[in-house]
């Protein structure tokens, strides 16, 4: 899942307005931000396999440290404790921890059975990626909901607030929606390097929030 994680961050902002949007996006994409780092260090592996599912050309061979349920629960707890300390709010910390965990839950819906419950444990996944139409419908609906809620609770300070939000939503939508028709990546190393670009998303969300205000 991709835009579904952005939708989770936008919904969480609605649920807890004190939650910084940049922190929400960092948390909702959290384990995907760790994943390319683990790929480049050799801790995890991915294989380019055209047609692995209808929606993606990647076979996620091994990612127990970023994407197993047990480790995600651990990452969630660390994120909750750290954000509670940095942001001086137990509720905000709890929401951030829940966002980290939500990533695994949403991935469970889309992935084929390749998500480990724990390192070396059973693999699970409901396989929504086997249907392009289903993936576009489910994730698209989540993004529409999240965008609607966020736009309803904020207003732009200037035209920059509108442009920044539209750019964030538009860029992530294009990257996600054209994935089934895009050519396969040239190598696993290229996948990891491109994956590092996702670190720009929390910074972009921070820029959005600086140019919008709560209604």
Read off the pLDDT of residues 59-112 as tens digits, 9 standing for 90 and up: 999 999 999 999 999 999 999 999 999 998 999 999 999 999 999 999 999 999
Band (215; pLDDT cuts 50, 70, 90): confident
Residue (of 68, 170, 154, 163) closest to 111 by Cα position: 68
What is the maximal distance between C-alpha atoms in the chain?
A: 51
Q: How far apart are the first and last CA of the chain?
A: 30
- For the chain, give the mean pLDDT: 96
Contacts of 37 (CB under 8 A, 6+ apart): 196
* 149-174 pLDDT per residue, tens: 999 999 999 999 999 999 999 999 99
Residue (of 52, 18, 41, 16) closest to 196 by Cα position: 41
Give dist(CA 26, CA 51) in Å, integer: 29
The 10 Å CB-count burial string (b at 16+, else e) for 10-37 is bbbbbeeeebbbbbbbbbbbbbbbbbbe
Q: What does residue 18 show for φ and ψ, rounded to 5 degrees?
A: -75, -10
If you count them, how many residues does the chain have?
215
The 10 Å CB-count burial string (b at 16+, else e) for 171-191 is ebbeebbebeeeeebeebeeb
């Amino acid at each position: 899942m991709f835009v579904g994680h952005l939708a989770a961050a936008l919904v969480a902002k609605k649920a807890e307005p004190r939650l910084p949007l940049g922190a929400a996006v960092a948390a909702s994409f959290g384990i995907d931000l760790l994943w390319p780092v683990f790929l480049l260090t050799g801790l995890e592996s991915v294989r380019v396999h055209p047609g692995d599912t209808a929606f993606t050309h990647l076979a996620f061979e091994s990612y127990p440290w970023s994407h197993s349920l047990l480790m995600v629960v651990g990452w969630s707890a660390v994120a909750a404790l750290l954000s509670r300390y940095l942001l001086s709010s137990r509720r905000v910390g709890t929401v951030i921890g829940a966002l980290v965990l939500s990533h695994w839950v949403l991935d469970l819906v889309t992935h084929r059975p390749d998500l480990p419950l724990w390192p070396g444990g059973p693999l699970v996944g409901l396989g929504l990626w086997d249907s392009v139409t289903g993936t576009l419908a489910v994730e698209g609906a989540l993004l529409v909901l999240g965008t609607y809620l966020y736009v309803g609770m904020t207003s732009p300070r200037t035209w920059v607030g509108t442009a920044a939000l539209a750019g964030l939503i538009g860029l992530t939508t294009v990257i996600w929606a054209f994935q089934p028709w895009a050519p396969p990546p040239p190598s696993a190393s290229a996948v990891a390097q491109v994956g590092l670009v996702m670190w720009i998303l929390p910074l972009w969300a921070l820029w959005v929030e600086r140019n919008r205000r709560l209604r």
